[in-house]
């Protein structure tokens, strides 16, 4: 599969933003990470302090065959039920995107349910979930490529209509198992070091989940040097879709805000598939899933929020939109020492 080259960061505009930060009526560096964030966004977009008013969370939904192994306290039927909840505007992501003046794009990329034609639902189903990766590769190379392309397509369609900032979210019972397995492989860690409780496993359930991932990796032997091999063997259709969204956003110079473990696993795969993607990534938050910090460290990203969020859906990313707006607004609207008539030593 061929991908477009990721453009380099606009270093001239980045330097211009950094210069303006030093002129604002505050001690240099006193806004901390907010200053770094605004400078990074300037480099991504090529604009000093863009408003980024047109934003969307791309929420990919898909089922996982591995859910048959009891790796989640919730049954697989919850995936289509939650998709209906999204469409009825009843979920956390609906509340937070409304507050952040953001659209949420809901994509059925692999739910094991036949949805009718419903307003607000993008029906791009590749398959009715992945295979049980304990016994077979999760998906075929053709399925993985199709899912990536779908993610790229939905992002590009929105970009053609003026999208300025994107985020990824997901829904799929069993997907933290896939994401933890991907994290273990890409980061060279043992499953026990990167596997968390997901939607609320007890101690016995967590031990079972770790054991299942250990067996999966022993059986599938994904090649850490081949991200497509990793995706096909132990990935998810929604993870592939989010990777596609992430790649397309970077290729269009659109900042991509990652959510939790699963969104970040998709971003790590995207960066492995197409070098340079990480330059357009923003870590919305850090979840309690122990593998999330490992992935963020690998990507060199500092989370904007740490509120122990583990809802998924893109909620942490949507909540961080307010921080991103604040960082850009400070850079754009704050007075300089000269304009305010304030002495700068």
Taking the C-alpha atoms of residue 107 and residue 56, their distance in angstroms, rounded to an integer, is 13
Catalytic residue from among 69, 170, 238, 313 = 313
Rounded to 5 degrees, φ, ψ at 103 are -80, 155
Q: Which two tokens stand for residue 77?
A: 């039927």
Q: Which two tokens stand for residue 131?
A: 């295979």
**Closest among 226, 257, 225 to 242, alpha carbons compared:** 257
Residues 71 and 196: beta-carbon distance below 8 Å: no
Taking the C-alpha atoms of residue 311 and residue 8, their distance in angstroms, rounded to an integer, is 33
**Closest among 292, 289, 270, 285 to 319, alpha carbons compared:** 285
At residue 123, the 3 state secondary structure works out as: strand
Distances (CA, A) of 167 to 65, 141, 219, 310: 26, 25, 33, 16
- Phi/psi region, residue 104 (left: phi>0; alpha: psi -120 to 50; beta: rest), is beta
List residues bridging with 55 in a β-sheet.
165
Is 313 one of the catalytic residues? yes
DSSP one-letter code for 24: B
Q: Which two tokens stand for residue 72?
A: 């989640």
Taking the C-alpha atoms of residue 168 and residue 256, their distance in angstroms, rounded to an integer, is 8
Burial of 199 (0-12, 13-18, 19+ CB in 10 A): middle
Active site residues: 313
């Amino acid at each position: 599969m061929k991908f477009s080259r990721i453009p380099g960061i606009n270093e001239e505009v980045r330097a211009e933003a950094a210069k303006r930060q030093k002129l604002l009526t505050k001690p240099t560096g006193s806004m901390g990470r907010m200053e770094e964030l605004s400078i990074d966004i300037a480099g991504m977009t090529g604009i000093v302090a863009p408003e980024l008013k047109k934003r969307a969370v791309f929420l990919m939904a898909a089922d996982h065959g591995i859910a048959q192994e009891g790796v989640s306290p919730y049954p697989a039927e919850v995936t289509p039920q939650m998709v209906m909840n999204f469409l009825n505007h009843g979920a956390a992501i609906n509340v937070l995107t409304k507050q952040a003046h953001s659209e949420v794009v809901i994509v059925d990329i692999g739910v094991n349910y036949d949805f009718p034609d419903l307003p607000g639902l993008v029906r791009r189903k590749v398959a009715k979930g992945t295979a049980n990766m304990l016994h077979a590769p999760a998906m075929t190379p053709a399925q993985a490529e199709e899912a990536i392309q779908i993610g790229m397509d939905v992002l590009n369609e929105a970009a053609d209509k003026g999208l300025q900032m994107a985020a990824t979210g997901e829904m799929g019972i069993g997907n933290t198992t896939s994401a933890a397995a991907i994290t273990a492989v890409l980061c060279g860690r043992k499953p026990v070091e990167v596997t968390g409780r997901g939607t609320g496993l007890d101690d016995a359930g967590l031990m079972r989940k770790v054991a299942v991932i250990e067996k999966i990796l022993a059986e599938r032997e994904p090649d850490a040097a081949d991200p497509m091999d990793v995706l096909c063997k132990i990935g998810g259709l929604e993870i592939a879709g989010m990777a596609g969204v992430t790649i397309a956003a970077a290729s269009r110079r659109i900042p991509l805000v990652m959510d939790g473990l699963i969104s970040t696993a998709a971003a790590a795969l995207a960066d492995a598939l197409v070098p340079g993607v990480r330059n357009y990534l923003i870590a919305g938050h850090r979840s309690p899933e122990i593998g999330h910090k490992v992935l963020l460290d690998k990507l060199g990203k500092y989370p904007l929020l740490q509120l122990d969020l583990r809802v998924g859906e893109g909620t942490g990313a949507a909540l961080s939109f307010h921080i991103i707006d604040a960082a850009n607004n400070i850079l754009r609207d704050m007075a300089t020492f000269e304009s305010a008539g304030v002495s700068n030593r």
